[in-house]
Amino acid sequence: MDYISFGKGNKWLILIPGLSINRIRGHALQMSFMYRQFARKYKVLMFDRRDHLTPSYSIGQMADELYSALRKLGIYKIDVVGVSEGGMIAQKLAINQPDIVHKLVLAVTISEPNNTSLKLKYKQFAVLAVTISEPNNTSNTTIKQWISLAKNNQLKELVWDSFQRSYSTHYIHKHHHLLKLLATITKVKEVDRFIILAQAILNFNVAAQLTKIKCPVFVIGAQQDQVLSVEGTKTIAKILHAPLYIYPHYGHAVYIEAKDFNQRIYNFLMS
């Protein structure tokens, strides 16, 4: 399992990235620059998924392996930031190992691919039922589309579709030619690995276990999220009674577009 390490602080911050067509290997300088704001207060670790994956690989296994890696490194208390699929891993880690997580940030993520079962599950509780949004199939549609494109070896289409769904309309319009070029030249080297990691999202469901999370949680969403939708983010915040901030003009890649994204996380972690 590869990981990136940087920072000189006296506390540990674990960054868990989302589903990607590439690994974090070779991106240490880029990531340490992107998250340099945390380096003074924290020793920062960013973990990839393990090297060799099996078709049934699950979010739960990812969380268990991350916990094993932390124990191997002698780390027993952490703050965690999980983005997208990384947020799913973070949820499972906080559910299974509540003593190790001090503070938790969940950004543009979900607790299950489809809110329908969550609403039915809690329909007997009238107050909660009216707060949960209508069923949303955005995540299922998106992930199944990406898996289909990957299986059919339509890799340029996969990259372009991920750009279109991830970035805001304004960003795509402004950087259209650059994104088109990137979609053309970007190489998807490990297609089978991508499919396995994407499938894990479709099989993920911890909605009924969320109340096992006992640490302070901050939830961040994006109104234009066309990958997982903003509704799943809102649902997590409602169940956990956690503070929630929704970016009105950004999409799933809000962590790249919003200039104050890291600052909001930093303020929460330091509070």
**Sequence spans of domains, the chain:** 3-136+198-270
Rounded (10°) angle between helices 59-72 and 191-202: 110
Q: Could you report the per-residue pLDDT of 215-258, keeping only the tens digit for each?
A: 999 999 999 999 999 999 999 999 999 999 999 999 999 999 99
Q: For the chain, which ranges sit under pLDDT 70?
A: 114-136
Six-digit token string for 207: 């909605």
In whole angstroms, what is the distance from residue 269 CA to residue 265 CA?
6
Q: Cβ–Cβ contacts within 10 Å for residue 19, how many?
A: 19
What pLDDT score was predicted for residue 114? 66
In whole angstroms, what is the distance from residue 55 CA to residue 63 CA?
17
What pLDDT score was predicted for residue 31? 93
pTM of the predicted protein model = 0.90
What pLDDT score was predicted for residue 5? 96
What pLDDT score was predicted for residue 136? 53
Mean pLDDT of the chain: 90
In whole angstroms, what is the distance from residue 171 CA to residue 83 CA?
20
What pLDDT score was predicted for residue 133? 37
Six-digit token string for 144: 């199944």
Q: Which CATH architecture has domain 3-136+198-270?
A: 3-Layer(aba) Sandwich (3.40)
What pLDDT score was predicted for residue 148? 97
Query: Which H or E run contains 166?
Result: helix 155-166
Q: Is 71 helix (H, G, I), strand (E, B) or coil?
A: helix
In whole angstroms, what is the distance from residue 187 CA to residue 155 CA?
8
In whole angstroms, what is the distance from residue 271 CA to residue 269 CA?
6
